[in-house]
Amino acid sequence: MANTHLRQKAHSILENLTLVNPYNEQEWKTQFPQTTFYSAVNDLLTVDGDCIIYNKDSYQYDTVPRQRWWNRCISAAMFYYMHPVMCREDDYQVDCVHDMGCGTNFMKLFSPVPVFGYDKHSWADSNEMWSPEFPNQHTEEFSAFVANGSLHFEQLYNFSGTVRNVVQCLKPGARAYLSLNSRMYTQYTDRDFMYSLDEDIEQVDYEFLQPASNDPDHDELLFTQSLVFRYIQEQILNYSGIRVLILDFINDPTVPNFSGSIDGNIRIVFQKL
Ligand SMILES: C[S@@+](CC[C@H](N)C(=O)[O-])C[C@H]1O[C@@H](n2cnc3c(N)ncnc32)[C@H](O)[C@@H]1O
């Protein structure tokens, strides 16, 4: 049954979020062909029907030609966030991009700089996993860091701790891109903490929230997502020692791709000061 109060409140939260340089499809259509990523992407488009998708919400599933696709449909949106990290326009030297939770290590297909991927899979360059010890073993080592859908398998209240650990791994002036999924956070976060985010959260049926639902009338999901976004926004914009270059949220819970862990509907690029 529709809960109009939750829906209205969610929309009010979403409208009042502070975004920083969010993705703009029209602008990126003009800018992307000027980037060094573009020729690598274009080289992979070899048969009729292969295409570049510019939607903000067509994201990870379309980035890599996966076996279930007949054609290569490569999402350009991801490169908008990668670009300021890997292809710097200032004189900062990026010697290597460290990709945490690299999966198939697909950034190697597109990157103009060397990529070093960490994951448990054989595609990775290292099977060292992200852990509380990792920053102590890699303090101020990285000139660029990306994590696409790999650092959100934890409690939402650990978010600032994760940022702190990423910052510890960065050299001064280095940049990082984090792509995170609000639904993953909801699933991994203690109910008591979620309840502390807003008085109206008690109206949310958590058992119903856990399985991925793409019902457009899913007011609970919209509301919970807006609370996660608001929490992340407050934490990152108040975090000292970094400059936030991009803070972007995809606020449509009905987009099927965002039901999974692979797609980040929270996208953050920051620089260590
Ligand atoms: C949703 S997939 C994303 C893979 C890849 N980044 C991409 O965008 O296609 C999440 C990946 O994070 C990895 N992962 C999960 N926890 C991790 C950890 N603690 N350290 C490193 N990788 C982790 C998983 O093995 C998985 O390959």
41-53: per-residue pLDDT in tens? Answer: 888 887 777 788 8
pLDDT band at 18 (very low <50, low <70, confident <90, very high): very high
Per-residue model confidence (pLDDT) at position 251:
76
Query: What are the structural domains, with CATH classification, of the chain?
Result: 4-19+78-272 (3.40.50)
Per-residue model confidence (pLDDT) at position 16:
97
Nearest alpha carbon, ligand 1 atom 24: 101
Decide: helix, strand or coil at residue 219: helix
Per-residue model confidence (pLDDT) at position 210:
57
Per-residue model confidence (pLDDT) at position 260:
46
What's the rounded Cα separation, in Å, for the pair 267 and 250?
9
Mean pLDDT of the chain: 88
More confident residue, 53 or 217: 53
For residue 63, the ligand 1 atom closest to its alpha carbon is: 9
Nearest alpha carbon, ligand 1 atom 13: 101
Per-residue model confidence (pLDDT) at position 69:
53
Give yes or no for a contact between 84 and 245, defined as CB atoms under 8 angstroms apart: yes
Give the closest residue to 152 by CA, choosing from 226, 263, 269: 263
What's the rounded Cα separation, in Å, for the pair 130 and 133?
8
153 lines ligand 1 (CB under 6 A): yes
Average of per-residue pLDDT across 177-194:
91
Give yes or no for a contact between 17 and 233, defined as CB atoms under 8 angstroms apart: yes
Q: Does 33 have pLDDT greater than 50?
A: yes
Average of per-residue pLDDT across 215-231:
84
Per-residue model confidence (pLDDT) at position 24:
95
pLDDT band at 2 (very low <50, low <70, confident <90, very high): confident
Q: Does 207 have pLDDT greater than 80?
A: no
Average of per-residue pLDDT across 155-169:
98
Nearest alpha carbon, ligand 1 atom 19: 130
What's the rounded Cα separation, in Å, for the pair 189 and 155?
4
Which phi-psi region, left, alpha or beta, contains residue 75 (left: φ > 0; alpha: ψ -120 to 50)?
beta
Average of per-residue pLDDT across 221-229:
91
Say how many Å lie between the CA of residue 175 and the centre of ligand 1: 19
Using most ligand atoms within 8 A of CB, pick from 109, 119, 133, 259 the residue to mutate for ligand 1. Answer: 119
Say how many Å lie between the CA of residue 129 and the centre of ligand 1: 9
Task: Count CB atoms within 10 A of the CB of residue 103.
Answer: 18
More confident residue, 259 or 129: 129
For residue 99, the ligand 1 atom closest to its alpha carbon is: 6
Give the closest residue to 130 by CA, choosing from 152, 157, 104: 152
Q: Does 261 have pLDDT greater than 70?
A: no
pTM above threshold 0.85: yes
Q: Does 63 have pLDDT greater than 70?
A: no
CA angle 31, 237, 258 (to 5 degrees): 60
